[in-house]
A and B are shown apart, each in its own frame.
Chain A
Amino acid sequence: MHVDEFLDPKILIVSGKGGVGKTTVAAALALVAARHGRKVCMAEIDRKGTLPKLFGGGEVTYEPRELSPGVWGLNIIPEDALAEYLRVQYHMSRISRVFRSTHFVDYITTAAPGLKDILVLGKIWYLEQDRDHGGGAHGFDTIIVDAPAAGHMATFLKAPQGLADAVRLGPVRRQSEWLNDMLTDPKRSRVHLVSLAEEIPASETLETSEALDKELGISQGAVFANAVYSRLLMDEEADEFERIAADGKIDELCDVAKASGINLDDDDLGALHGYARFLKARRNIQSQHLRKLSRGVTQPVMELPFLFSAGLALPDIETLADVIEEQMETL
Chain B
Amino acid sequence: MSAARARLNPIGEIVDHKEIVVCAGSGGVGKTTTAAAIALQAALDGKKVAVLTIDPAKRLASSLGLKELTNEPSKVSKRKFTSAGLEMKGELWALMLDTKTTFDEVVTRYAPSPEQAERILENRFYRNISSTLSGTQEYMAMEKLYELHADGAYDIIVIDTPPTRNALDFLDAPRRLTDFFESRVLRWFLMPYMKAGGGIFRVANVAATTFLRVVKRIIGGDVLQDTAEFFSNLEGMYDGFKERAREVSALLQSDATSFVIVTSPGEDSVMEATFFAARLNEAGLPFGALIVNRVHPKLGDGVDVKPRQLTKLEKQGDQGQLLAKLIDNEEAFMRVVRLEEKNLNALARKIPKHRWVRVPYLEQEAVDFAGLSLIADKLFEA
- Give A residues with C-beta under 8 Å from B: 17-20, 47, 50, 86, 90, 92, 96, 98-99, 101, 103-104, 106-113, 115, 149, 151, 167, 170-172, 198-200, 203-204, 230, 232-233, 237, 240-241, 252-253, 256-257, 259-264, 267-268, 270-272, 274-279, 281-282, 285, 308-311
B112: Cβ under 8 A from any A Cβ: no
Q: Is the CB of B325 within 8 A of A111?
A: no
Inter-chain contacts of A151 with B (CB < 8 A) = 55, 163
Q: Is the CB of B163 within 8 A of A18?
A: yes
Q: Is the CB of B323 within 8 A of A98?
A: no
**Digit string of B188-219 for contact with A (CB within 8 Å is 1, else 0)?**
11000000000000000001000100110111
Inter-chain contacts of A270 with B (CB < 8 A) = 299-300
If A50-B268, A311-B267 touch, whether A109 touches B132 (CB-CB below 8 Å) is yes
Q: Is the CB of B367 within 8 A of A200?
A: yes
Q: Is the CB of B219 within 8 A of A19?
A: no
- For B130, give the chain A residue with the smallest CB separation: A110
**Digit string of B34-65 for contact with A (CB within 8 Å is 1, else 0)?**
00000000000000000000010111000000
- For A272, give the chain B residue with the smallest CB separation: B326
B183: Cβ under 8 A from any A Cβ: yes
- Give B residues with C-beta under 8 Å from A: 26-29, 55, 57-59, 125, 128-129, 131-134, 163, 165, 179-180, 183, 185-186, 188-189, 207, 211, 214-215, 217-220, 223-224, 226-227, 264, 266-269, 297, 299-306, 309-310, 312-313, 316-317, 319-320, 322-323, 325-330, 332-336, 338-339, 342, 361, 363-365, 367
Bound-state CA distance A92–B336 (Å) is 53
**Secondary structure call for the B interface:** helix
Q: Is the CB of B363 within 8 A of A277?
A: yes
Inter-chain contacts of A268 with B (CB < 8 A) = 300, 303
| Contact sample, A vs B, 8 pairs, CB 8 Å cutoff | A108-B218, A110-B129, A111-B223, A111-B227, A199-B365, A200-B367, A272-B303, A278-B297
**Shortest Cβ distance from A315 into chain B, in angstroms?**
14
**Shortest Cβ distance from A76 into chain B, in angstroms?**
15
| Residue of A99, A104, A107, A263 with highest tally of chain B CB at under 10 A | A107
Inter-chain contacts of B297 with A (CB < 8 A) = 274, 278
Bound-state CA distance A149–B28 (Å) is 10
**What 6 A-B pairs are tightest by C-beta distance, nearest first?**
A19-B28, A271-B300, A281-B363, A18-B27, A274-B299, A308-B332
Q: Is the CB of B322 within 8 A of A241?
A: yes
Inter-chain contacts of B328 with A (CB < 8 A) = 232-233
If A267-B301, A278-B363, A311-B339 touch, whether A172 touches B218 (CB-CB below 8 Å) is yes
Bound-state CA distance A232–B342 (Å) is 24
| Residue of A198, A256, A263 with highest tally of chain B CB at under 10 A | A256
- For A148, give the chain B residue with the smallest CB separation: B165
Q: Is the CB of B303 within 8 A of A264?
A: yes
Q: Is the CB of B125 within 8 A of A260?
A: no
Q: Is the CB of A92 within 8 A of B183?
A: no
Bound-state CA distance A171–B219 (Å) is 11
If A111-B219, A200-B57, A308-B335 touch, whether A149 touches B27 (CB-CB below 8 Å) is yes
Q: Is the CB of B319 within 8 A of A111?
A: no
Q: Is the CB of A110 within 8 A of B267?
A: no
Q: Is the CB of A275 within 8 A of B330?
A: yes
- For A152, give the chain B residue with the smallest CB separation: B163
- For B328, give the chain A residue with the smallest CB separation: A232
**Shortest Cβ distance from A29 into chain B, in angstroms?**
20
Q: Is the CB of A92 within 8 A of B214?
A: yes
Inter-chain contacts of A17 with B (CB < 8 A) = 28
Q: Is the CB of B335 within 8 A of A309?
A: yes
Bound-state CA distance A98–B268 (Å) is 34
Q: Is the CB of B133 within 8 A of A278?
A: no
Q: Is the CB of B326 within 8 A of A281?
A: no
Beyond contacts A256-B319, A260-B320, A281-B364: 8 other A-B pairs, Cβ-Cβ < 8 A, are A106-B133, A106-B134, A109-B132, A110-B133, A253-B322, A262-B304, A270-B300, A271-B299
**Secondary structure call for the A interface:** helix
| Residue of A99, A259, A260, A264 with highest tally of chain B CB at under 10 A | A260
- For B219, give the chain A residue with the smallest CB separation: A112
Residue in B55, B214, B301, B364 whose CB lies within 8 Å of A86: B214
Inter-chain contacts of A240 with B (CB < 8 A) = 322
Inter-chain contacts of B179 with A (CB < 8 A) = 103
Residue in A110, A200, A260, A276 whose CB lies within 8 Å of B309: A260
Q: Is the CB of B125 within 8 A of A110?
A: yes
**Shortest Cβ distance from A78 into chain B, in angstroms?**
11
Residue in A111, A172, A271 whose CB lies within 8 Å of B217: A172
- For B27, give the chain A residue with the smallest CB separation: A18
Q: Is the CB of B186 within 8 A of A107?
A: yes
**Shortest Cβ distance from A253 into chain B, in angstroms?**
6
Bound-state CA distance A99–B188 (Å) is 12
Inter-chain contacts of B320 with A (CB < 8 A) = 256, 260
**Shortest Cβ distance from B267 into chain A, in angstroms?**
7
Bound-state CA distance A276–B335 (Å) is 15
Bound-state CA distance A110–B211 (Å) is 18
**Shortest Cβ distance from A293 into chain B, in angstroms?**
15
If A200-B57, A277-B363, A278-B333 touch, whether A19 touches B264 (CB-CB below 8 Å) is yes
Q: Is the CB of B28 within 8 A of A113?
A: no
If A98-B189, A108-B215 touch, whether A232 touches B300 (CB-CB below 8 Å) is no
If A111-B224, A268-B300, A272-B303 touch, whether A170 touches B189 (CB-CB below 8 Å) is no
Residue in B163, B227, B312, B339 whose CB lies within 8 Å of A107: B227
Bound-state CA distance A194–B343 (Å) is 24
Bound-state CA distance A230–B335 (Å) is 14
Q: Is the CB of B27 within 8 A of A272?
A: no
Inter-chain contacts of B227 with A (CB < 8 A) = 107, 111
Inter-chain contacts of B332 with A (CB < 8 A) = 230, 232, 308
Q: Is the CB of B364 within 8 A of A101?
A: no
Bound-state CA distance A131–B280 (Å) is 45
Inter-chain contacts of B364 with A (CB < 8 A) = 281, 285
- For B207, give the chain A residue with the smallest CB separation: A96
Inter-chain contacts of B322 with A (CB < 8 A) = 237, 240-241, 253
Inter-chain contacts of A203 with B (CB < 8 A) = 57-59
Residue in A90, A204, A252, A278 whose CB lies within 8 Å of B214: A90
**Shortest Cβ distance from B38 into chain A, in angstroms?**
19
**Shortest Cβ distance from A235 into chain B, in angstroms?**
12
